Structure 1
Amino acid sequence: MSMQHNNIVLVGFMGTGKSTVGRFLAEKLSWELIDTDHYIEKQEEMSIAELFTKHGEVYFREIETRAIQSIMVKSNQVIATGGGAVLAEANRVCLKENGFVVALTASLETIIQRVGGDRNRPLLLGKAAEIVPQLLQKRKHAYDFADYTISTDRLRIEFIAQRLLVAYRKQTKG
């Protein structure tokens, strides 16, 4: 791992806690929190859901790759990525070369509980219980490239952050 940049990158399926853990970590480290979805919404001046509806997923994924490349040139950031950001190899390479990549996982039950009522998730179309298991299966190995993996089921955020920082410091020393 080259680690030119001090960045911690959170990847994982929707509802695994990337935004929540990201906020906590950024505060703890006094780093900037960058949520790639929010970053894209600001740049495009529309919501992710609108982007999907107006331009489709392919267009969105292209913008997402450009956004990730711009974000990853900086340092001292906690980056919370969109759930599908890791699907493109270019994104995985860029994230890993410029940061410590942490995959957050959660059980199917936890994910459905967390995202079930969320209207801002274009891929779910309000049918979380049906769609989440299919997507999870499809993306089963999408997060395997991460430097570190931790489950967020029934764990306190402080505990997750602490475990993650220990792993990060170990890796940056070596």
Structure 2
Amino acid sequence: MKIFLCGYMGSGKSAVAKRLAEKLMLPLIDIDDQIALIENKSVPELFKSKGELYFRKRENQVLQDVLEDPVSLLISLGGGTPCYANNLEMILSGKDSILIYLKASVEFLTKRLSSEKATRPLISHLESEEDLEDFIRKHLFERSYYYNQAKLKINIEGRDVDSIVDEIIENLK
């Protein structure tokens, strides 16, 4: 089985994935971390030196490798992973694959991401909180088609990691 977590940046994919992997005793692959490891550069450095298009191509290659791996895995996707190339199609057509969407509102994501702009290449150029909110609103609208194809949608607002993980596990039964 392959369990994929998707959601917008700041939705808690990495934290939820770590705890869920522990509880389900599954190996965890964070797509962004995997790319950084292969490239020997952080994601922000990679965006700066080679651009988003290069990153998205690399992301697609890593996803293909993950899907071909015969081992059961928990995979934390990057926020844009399901939205590029044929990534969503590959995930949804994967044997024994399940896609889970960690859902949050524009307001929640804006508040969470406002202090993290420097480490997030897609939003590092935004100067005001209003610009950030507009950016997230536009992106979330564009990505909602992809995210909403997930089999399971979990609202993460106002919840701790353990309650989110427990809900996911309950719905996997």
TM-score (norm 2): 0.88
**Inter-partner Cα distance in structure 2 for 1:89 and 1:168:** 28
Structure 2: gaps of 5 or more residues? 127-131
* Cα shift readout 1:120-165 (whole Å, capped 9, x = no counterpart): 2111025233422221222222212211111100122222112212
Counterpart contact for 2:8–2:140, Cα < 8 Å: yes
Letter in 2 for 1:123: L
For residue 31 of structure 1, the aligned residue among 9, 16, 26 is 26
**Inter-partner Cα distance in structure 2 for 1:164 and 1:53:** 35
Letter in 1 for 2:42: S
Q: Say which SS state the counterpart of residue 124 (structure 1) adopts.
A: coil
Report % sequence identity.
30
* Higher mean C-alpha displacement, 145-154 vs 86-95: 86-95
Deviation at 1:101, TM superposition (A): 0.6
Cα RMSD over matched residues? 1.5
For residue 111 of structure 2, the aligned residue among 84, 92, 113 is 113
**Inter-partner Cα distance in structure 2 for 1:89 and 1:145:** 16
For residue 142 of structure 1, the aligned residue among 138, 142, 146 is 146
Task: Determine the structure 2 residue equivalent to 1:3.
Answer: none
Counterpart contact for 1:11–1:80, Cα < 8 Å: yes
> Are positions 1:82 and 2:72 aligned together?
no
Task: Determine the structure 2 residue equivalent to 1:16.
Answer: 11
Displacement over 6 Å in runs of 4+: none
TM-score (norm 1): 0.87
**Inter-partner Cα distance in structure 1 for 2:110 and 2:74:** 25
Letter in 2 for 1:30: M
Counterpart contact for 2:32–2:77, Cα < 8 Å: yes
* Cα shift readout 1:20-47 (whole Å, capped 9, x = no counterpart): 1101100111111111000000001111
